[in-house]
Amino acid sequence: MNKIILENDKIKKEELDESIKYDLFTNDTFGISSLTLEITKDTSLEIDYDFKEMTKIETIIVVNKNVNLQLFEKITGTNAKKRTKYYLKENSKVKISKFNNIEEIKEYTIINLDEKHAVIEYNLKTISEHDENYDILTYHNASETISKINPNGVNIKDGKLKFNVSSFVPKKIVKCDASQNNKIINLTNNECIINPNLYIDEYDVTANHSAWIGTFKSDELFYLMSRGISKTDAIKLLIKGFLTNKMDIAEEEKELIKNTVDNYWR
């Protein structure tokens, strides 16, 4: 697997083959670093961001025609403002598995499905213990494009988690499929917010969204506890399942997520 490790806004390590071209540019005027990646062949990629101090960074990912990309993104650290832009060309397919474990973040994601038959599946998992705000905007700029946007989070401690998720299909862009599945497990008394938006200006489109905020269902907990599992351990098991579901990642990465859960619920 190709891999890039960043510490704040600097590349600490990169292991990339010929399927990926990249450039890192820092705008000294605005103090924002921009990482650009062009995906030229079918490949898998892991990007690890470690924000040890407040950091502003932009990532731009261009996926060329007929290219499949499997992307695993991991964010850790203290505080960040991050913007990511995706540009998908004809018949490109992208599956994103993303895990955030950062103290505070404001993240702005823009997905551009620019040509026919472009497909994206975006799976975000996060553990929120302070303020986390996510804006995810998907633009169907061509007909017969598909988006599946699935932001999921567990809110704990002093967490306040907010998802603003919007999908756009303009007139004359037909036979698109735009779906959202937004879910927050809120284990606090703090307010969490989901704003799901569908801006559809064409009839020949399939579009749907769901938005759910709450705790685990009582029958799920009862089933596990009836088999001798304590309530705390039952909650841990459910959280682990919730945070690894739909994540197309290696077993060792799933174990990393599960170990992170164990560190919060010792």
pLDDT of 266 > 80? The answer is no
Provide CB contacts within 8 A for 148, sequence distance 6+. 120, 121, 122, 179, 181
Please give the model's pTM, rounded to 2 decimal places.
0.95
Residue range 129-137: average pLDDT? Answer: 97
Name which residue leads in pLDDT, 216 or 35.
35
Per-residue pLDDT tens over the stretch 61-78: 999 999 999 999 999 999
In the chain, where the domains are located? 2-215, 216-266
CB-based contact 156:192 (threshold 8 Å): no
Spatial distance between the Cα atoms of 82 and 109, rounded to a whole number of angstroms? 8
Helix/strand/coil for 238 = helix
- Model confidence at 1, in pLDDT bands (50, 70, 90)? confident
| The token pair that represents 263 in the structure block | 């560190």
Q: How far is CA 28 from CA 11, 25, 33, 84, 123, in A?
A: 17, 9, 8, 19, 33
Residues of the chain with pLDDT > 70: what percent?
98
Residue range 169-180: average pLDDT? Answer: 98
pLDDT of 28 > 60? The answer is no
- Model confidence at 83, in pLDDT bands (50, 70, 90)? very high
Alpha helices in the chain (DSSP H): 218-225, 231-244, 251-264
Query: Which residue in 51, 217, 188 sits closest to 129, CA to CA?
Result: 188
Name which residue leads in pLDDT, 235 or 85.
85
